[in-house]
Structure 1
Amino acid sequence: MPPRLRSSKGEKMAEASKEGGINALSDELLQHILSLLSADEAVKTCVLSWRWRHLWKSTDVLRLAADKGRWKSSKRFKKFVNHLVLFRGSSPLREFDLEFSSCREKDEKGDDSGEDESDDDRGEDESDDDSDGDELDEHSDDGESDEDSNPFQCVMMWVMYALICQVQVLKIHNFNERYIEIDGGMPLVSQHLTKIELSGIVLKECFLNFSSCPALKELYFTKNCCFDSVKKIFSQSMQCLRIFYCQFSEYDRTLIYAPSLITLLLEGFWGRTPFLERMPSLVEASVRPHQDCDDWCSNTYTGNCEDEDCDGCHGMIDKIGNGSKCVLLGGLSEAKSLKLIAVPEIIIFGSDLRCCPMFSKLKSLLLNEWCLPSNFWALACILEHSPVLRKLTLQISKEAKFMMETEENDNPLWKPAAISEHLKVVKVHCKEVDEVVYKIGKWLSTLDIKAASEECGIDDLPDELLQQILSLLSADEAVKTCVLSRRWRHLWKSTDILRVAYSTDRWKRSEEFKKFVNHLVLLRGISPLREFDLRFNPFRYEDVVYDGDSDPYQCVMMWVMYAVMCRVQVLKIHNDHTDIEVYSGMPLVSPHLTKIELSGIELKNCFLNFSSCPALKELYFTKNCCFDSVYEILSQSIQCLHIFHCQFDEYCHGCHLSYEVSDDSEIVLLGGLTEAKNLKLIAGPEIFIFRSDLRWCPLFSKLKGLLLNEWCLASNFSALACILEHSPVLRKLTLKISKEAKSMMETEENDNPLWKPAAISEHLKVVKVHCKEVDDVVYKIGKWLSTLDIKVIIKQRKQSSKIFCLEEGNIC
């Protein structure tokens, strides 16, 4: 009998197993690996071999990220995704993850620039001659050139594609300032969808009708979702709903109907509190309105304000159309565990308690100080309507004392008619045991309940808060906390701020410091960093013990590169000793870096090319940075630049330049400042750069505020006249005149007439002159300005302002 022929798949697996490595893995495992990659990275694997050619099409997770670090224009991203779904077909999806992060403004508006750049940036065009990459490339050349390339435009189309592929988990995260608007005419219809996560989305009412998604169990709205025009959120199958830092309408309440809901979280929302329909299956709920919630009243804590002008109590346009007056608590009455947290001025809880429902299943309850005003009325009401309550926790802040003092009265404290027989102890969490805590304990004792005061210790705090506390410490102090307990052992590794400081007070030997930091970065790994702060505090060389090549400055760039690998956003290097030299062969490359602060650094040209840091917004050079060999500072994204007490090159000797900028313009400084709306130009009389530039004075077409000192008065006010003539919309001019001005004017005394501008701004009516004393210079300025029909307000230090009156020939 002839041997059975192997199937083509079997032959491929046999060949792969002989090759070893990743090719020895099964298709299912390779697809799982590909599902961890973003879509553009997964597509690129099609060029590896024939076996990999179509693997990316059958992965069950599709991750799409519109990141400016990956895509040079939003049109490329949009084109790539449209072609991707075309070639992928309707292969089933378990998860569809769409993320928009930090798009450039010009990309959001549909910038089509850069279409002729290399195919490598597209992500979808890399392939061999016979692969699908060629097909993608063919299609990428036609059409769409005149379309709006805003990637938000196609979001619902891509969502509909995911639904066609029977997606189970749908995620859309938008981290841009600009919202994605989900079209109200596009409801979701899916038998397979079980979970939805949304952030940064403007939601329409039709989209939030999930009656056609019978398998939907979890719904998450996080970080700035907007429900402003949503009247109702509807789902009969949903079991978990989380709304975290989102915006509701200021005038209308959104109704939430979810009869199968088990878990509810409403955290940090603003606008009007949503109306909750009855939830018979509810087990756990937590509600914490934002302090800017519109259910706010400064007149009362109980929600019965009679002031018709109060927007919090009477600012609603419409009311929910049913007989219930409970907005929130009626829907929470079936819960077994409740957390109700609010600032005292938020009235929604107190307002609902006037028609308080029965919490027939409630066993655990957490409240804060909002329940204490009006002589404990709200707390007494809840206890009376919670017949099976077992656990009550009160979180009392320092604000409670002030609140209780402001409504001090002689009325007796409220008492519930009856309380749960299971409630024996109440826990009170506080920072200190003050009069408020004592008053609570005394009141509870009248109900036969013990008050167990728990002053919050550091171990009661969550990991996130402990990490924030550790981030305030220097790295060596933070590391020492690992010995406190098992919980603290690795906490220091996950702090997002790393502060490294060298001083002889803390480190006796520089070698110890260098060794510590090197071990620190090795053990910490590449956990993300928000801020890296490296400081060299003042020390004397004789205090430092060197062992061979142990100069602590030696490793600075290596530590900076480590911070960049950890996706650092804020980089600070402060040196209060000798200059640290940053090597010219080490440019910074980071899509995450937003801010840099440097002091005491000797900077090289290559380091100051920030073209590979597209997110960089702020750049600060302070205290003795040296630009001696720097010819260019380059950044297309930077918005704020501060250079304070730093040193530039000395090629210029007085007025004779030995080095010239390659620009044709003769203007050094003022040419770059012509678009400014506010300018301060201060210099000693001997500094000639401003006067030199004014020989080719540009037009300051937007300048509205200007501050000058006495340098502009030389040569018979020629500089001041020139600036006024070239500032057509100037509104505010301030002159700071020191005592040096008088000697300067005397040394160049001549009989030539004072310069006058050919024309000045029609908006300039008054000029402020700041001086120590009113001398001949100030009088001369006032007289000159009066010829231009401009009044002068003279402000002497530590004295009230005075107005120069030409008619009377003096200052009045």
Structure 2
Amino acid sequence: MLPGESSNRAVPPALGSRGSIDALPDGVLEHILGFLLAPEAVRTCVLARRWRHLWMSAPGLRVGCVGNDVQHDPPRVEEYRELVDRLLLLRRGSPLDTCDIRLGMFKYDDVPRLNAWFWHIISCKVRLLTLRNHWAYYLVLHDLPLVSKHLTRLELRGVWLPSSFLDFSSCPALEYLELFTCILLGKNILSDSLKHLSITDSQCHGVFCTCIYAPNLVSLRLDGLQFSSPTLDSMPSLVEAFVRITEDYENVCDNSSETDILDCLCESCDSARGATGNGCVLFKGLSEAKSLVLTCTAYDSVLFKWDLKCCPAFSKLKSLVLNEYWCVPDDFGPLVCILQLSPVLEELSLELFSEGPKYEVDMKGSISPMERSATISEHLNVVKVKCQAVDERVLEILKLLCTFNIRFDF
């Protein structure tokens, strides 16, 4: 029974006082049991005859760690083999609203069992599904298309995702997708329904770079991807996006040491540049966002600079956060370019030269309407600069901003 549904089963008289939990309808008790870890939910069968089968219809199934509590070693799969096998058998396919599996070490022989669990749970019409593998090795899912009319949210960690799996066109209700430390082997991630996508510390592999086709995406997070960046198709509904590059993984060939990566004409680089039809890797999709955070800690990376060469205007962008990658002394071109491509920008934040998220200096610039530069957005009214100290590098950036008549007092 799904949460919110009423139960027509008769409620037996309360065994205790009027406030006893036994006075609650079966549907409410099943809902409560869905928040317990699987072993705890099963143990309730000994409370009384009425409780004997309630856990079998609980709309929630939770196996392993509780939430994000993985400070200690997460339980091994072998500790749950018999329990989950028997539990899924006894449930007889009763519908699931939520399933959360977070386990640690597994053996090679466990891979078919884990796959069986996953695909069986999909068949139980689950809406919210979390599968987190906290072991050092990836869990390889079968190369099968994911088909579900009920799945709305999917969270995966430590999973090897084959090509067929990444086609979500048969999941018309899927709106939230979160991938953490996964390997993506597909050429395309396809979904017309997806609204929120987060890919963190993951790897894109394959002969061709992965392209994301999600035209109704509202929020996007690409954080610390490895080896290769996905390319983004048009995302006209995008409101906010966060992109952080931590290594130079430019979707290019081995000629980069000899050839300017922006001008290389080899088949690999040409494929990457043309993957979205206009030469952009990221900015075709990001160009319609209203709020952007673009940071890069690999200072020899040219991915953002590459995209700026063929990028359309950020016609809806109102809030922009950049780090020092965009304004390295003697090369302020990227910062100037992106400001010129943002005609309705209202707020600009520069977070400069800091090892962590805390900044000792937080400055706010002022712009006189009478002295506003015609080369930047006429709507820009907030400019913030955060840094650890106002050193020579920061002073050079402040001087550049002064050329746009943005003044700072510090």
Which residue number corresponds to residue 246 of structure 1? 202
Q: Deviations over 1:336-358 (max 9, x none)?
A: 00000002212110111111211
Which residue number corresponds to residue 120 of structure 2? 161
Which residue number corresponds to residue 692 of structure 1? none
Query: What is the Cα deviation at residue 221 of structure 1?
Result: 0.7
Assess, with a 3 A threshold, how the Cα gap between structure 1 residues 8 and 231 changes in structure 2: closer, same or farther: closer
Query: What is the Cα deviation at residue 309 of structure 1?
Result: 9.6
The question of 1:421 aligning with 2:378 is answered yes
State the SS of the aligned residue for 1:341. Answer: strand
Which residue number corresponds to residue 92 of structure 2? 89
Tell me how far apart the structure 1 counterparts of residues 216 and 111 of structure 2 sit (CA, whole Å).
Answer: 33
Assess, with a 3 A threshold, how the Cα gap between structure 1 residues 306 and 417 changes in structure 2: closer, same or farther: farther
Between the two proteins, what is the percent identity of the paired residues?
41
Equivalent position to 1:98, from 98, 101, 118: 101
Which residue number corresponds to residue 134 of structure 2? 175
Which residue number corresponds to residue 38 of structure 2? 39
Query: What is the Cα deviation at residue 438 of structure 1?
Result: 1.8
Contact 1:274 1:327 in 2 (8 A): yes
Give the TM-score normalised by the residue count of structure 2: 0.83
Tell me how far apart the structure 1 counterparts of residues 231 and 31 of structure 2 sit (CA, whole Å).
Answer: 42
Contact 1:295 1:312 in 2 (8 A): no
Query: What is the Cα deviation at residue 395 of structure 1?
Result: 1.2
Which residue number corresponds to residue 320 of structure 2? 365
Query: What is the Cα deviation at residue 441 of structure 1?
Result: 1.9
Equivalent position to 1:449, from 392, 406, 409: 406
Which residue number corresponds to residue 437 of structure 1? 394
State the SS of the aligned residue for 1:395. Answer: strand
Which residue number corresponds to residue 278 of structure 1? 234
Q: Deviations over 1:541-567 (max 9, x none)?
A: xxxxxxxxxxxxxxxxxxxxxxxxxxx
Tell me how far apart the structure 2 counterparts of residues 364 and 8 of structure 1 sit (CA, whole Å).
Answer: 54
Which residue number corresponds to residue 193 of structure 2? 237
The question of 1:349 aligning with 2:308 is answered no
Contact 1:424 1:449 in 2 (8 A): no
Tell me how far apart the structure 2 counterparts of residues 271 and 231 of structure 1 sit (CA, whole Å).
Answer: 15
| Aligned AA (2:150) | H
Assess, with a 3 A threshold, how the Cα gap between structure 1 residues 396 and 19 changes in structure 2: closer, same or farther: closer
Query: What is the Cα deviation at residue 321 of structure 1?
Result: 4.3
Tell me how far apart the structure 2 counterparts of residues 72 and 179 of structure 1 sit (CA, whole Å).
Answer: 14
Assess, with a 3 A threshold, how the Cα gap between structure 1 residues 257 and 72 changes in structure 2: closer, same or farther: closer
Query: What is the Cα deviation at residue 295 of structure 1?
Result: 2.2
| Aligned AA (1:187) | P
Which residue number corresponds to residue 264 of structure 1? 220
Which residue number corresponds to residue 26 of structure 1? 25
The question of 1:307 aligning with 2:258 is answered yes
The question of 1:226 aligning with 2:179 is answered no
Query: What is the Cα deviation at residue 363 of structure 1?
Result: 0.4
The structure carrying a bigger helix percent of its residues is 1
Which residue number corresponds to residue 664 of structure 1? none
Query: What is the Cα deviation at residue 192 of structure 1?
Result: 1.1
Assess, with a 3 A threshold, how the Cα gap between structure 1 residues 197 and 8 changes in structure 2: closer, same or farther: closer
State the SS of the aligned residue for 2:331. Answer: helix
Give the TM-score normalised by the residue count of structure 1: 0.43
Equivalent position to 1:190, from 131, 140, 148: 148
Which residue number corresponds to residue 285 of structure 2? 331
Assess, with a 3 A threshold, how the Cα gap between structure 1 residues 306 and 199 changes in structure 2: closer, same or farther: closer
Query: What is the Cα deviation at residue 312 of structure 1?
Result: 12
Query: What is the Cα deviation at residue 27 of structure 1?
Result: 2.3
Assess, with a 3 A threshold, how the Cα gap between structure 1 residues 309 and 286 changes in structure 2: closer, same or farther: closer
Which structure's CA Rg is the greater one? 1
Assess, with a 3 A threshold, how the Cα gap between structure 1 residues 289 and 251 changes in structure 2: closer, same or farther: farther
Tell me how far apart the structure 1 counterparts of residues 166 and 147 of structure 2 sit (CA, whole Å).
Answer: 11
Contact 1:444 1:451 in 2 (8 A): no
Aligned length, in residue pairs: 374
Tell me how far apart the structure 1 counterparts of residues 76 and 399 of structure 2 sit (CA, whole Å).
Answer: 67
Assess, with a 3 A threshold, how the Cα gap between structure 1 residues 311 and 294 changes in structure 2: closer, same or farther: farther
Tell me how far apart the structure 1 counterparts of residues 126 and 50 of structure 2 sit (CA, whole Å).
Answer: 26
Assess, with a 3 A threshold, how the Cα gap between structure 1 residues 398 and 35 changes in structure 2: closer, same or farther: closer
Query: What is the Cα deviation at residue 73 of structure 1?
Result: 7.3
Tell me how far apart the structure 2 counterparts of residues 398 and 241 of structure 1 sit (CA, whole Å).
Answer: 28
Q: Deviations over 1:350-369 (max 9, x none)?
A: 11111121100000001111
Query: What is the Cα deviation at residue 325 of structure 1?
Result: 1.1
Query: What is the Cα deviation at residue 85 of structure 1?
Result: 1.4
Assess, with a 3 A threshold, how the Cα gap between structure 1 residues 432 and 51 changes in structure 2: closer, same or farther: same
| Aligned AA (2:243) | V
Tell me how far apart the structure 2 counterparts of residues 8 and 282 of structure 1 sit (CA, whole Å).
Answer: 46
Assess, with a 3 A threshold, how the Cα gap between structure 1 residues 154 and 417 changes in structure 2: closer, same or farther: farther
Tell me how far apart the structure 1 counterparts of residues 77 and 198 of structure 2 sit (CA, whole Å).
Answer: 34
Query: What is the Cα deviation at residue 426 of structure 1?
Result: 1.9
Q: Deviations over 1:412-455 (max 9, x none)?
A: xxxx97211111442111111112222222222221223466xx
Query: What is the Cα deviation at residue 83 of structure 1?
Result: 2.0
Equivalent position to 1:387, from 333, 340, 343: 343
- Which structure has the higher relative contact order (CA within 8 Å, separation 6+)? 2
Q: Deviations over 1:229-278 (max 9, x none)?
A: 22111110100001111112286421001000000001111111110001
Q: Which moved more, 1:351-360 or 1:78-87?
A: 78-87
Contact 2:231 2:275 in 1 (8 A): no
Tell me how far apart the structure 2 counterparts of residues 173 and 72 of structure 1 sit (CA, whole Å).
Answer: 12
State the SS of the aligned residue for 2:50. Answer: coil
Query: What is the Cα deviation at residue 17 of structure 1?
Result: 4.3
Contact 1:424 1:450 in 2 (8 A): no
Map residues 504-583 of structure 1 onto 2, 5 A cutoff.
none
Which residue number corresponds to residue 210 of structure 1? 168
| Aligned AA (1:177) | A
Contact 1:168 1:193 in 2 (8 A): yes
Contact 2:44 2:55 in 1 (8 A): yes
Query: Gaps spanning 5+ residues in structure 2: where?
Result: 1-7, 356-372
Query: What is the Cα deviation at residue 22 of structure 1?
Result: 3.7
| Aligned AA (1:162) | I
State the SS of the aligned residue for 2:236. Answer: coil
Map residues 287-306 of structure 1 onto 2, 5 A cutoff.
287-291=243-247, 293-295=248-250
State the SS of the aligned residue for 1:355. Answer: coil
Tell me how far apart the structure 2 counterparts of residues 46 and 38 of structure 1 sit (CA, whole Å).
Answer: 14
Query: What is the Cα deviation at residue 167 of structure 1?
Result: 0.8
Contact 1:246 1:269 in 2 (8 A): yes
Tell me how far apart the structure 2 counterparts of residues 70 and 451 of structure 1 sit (CA, whole Å).
Answer: 51
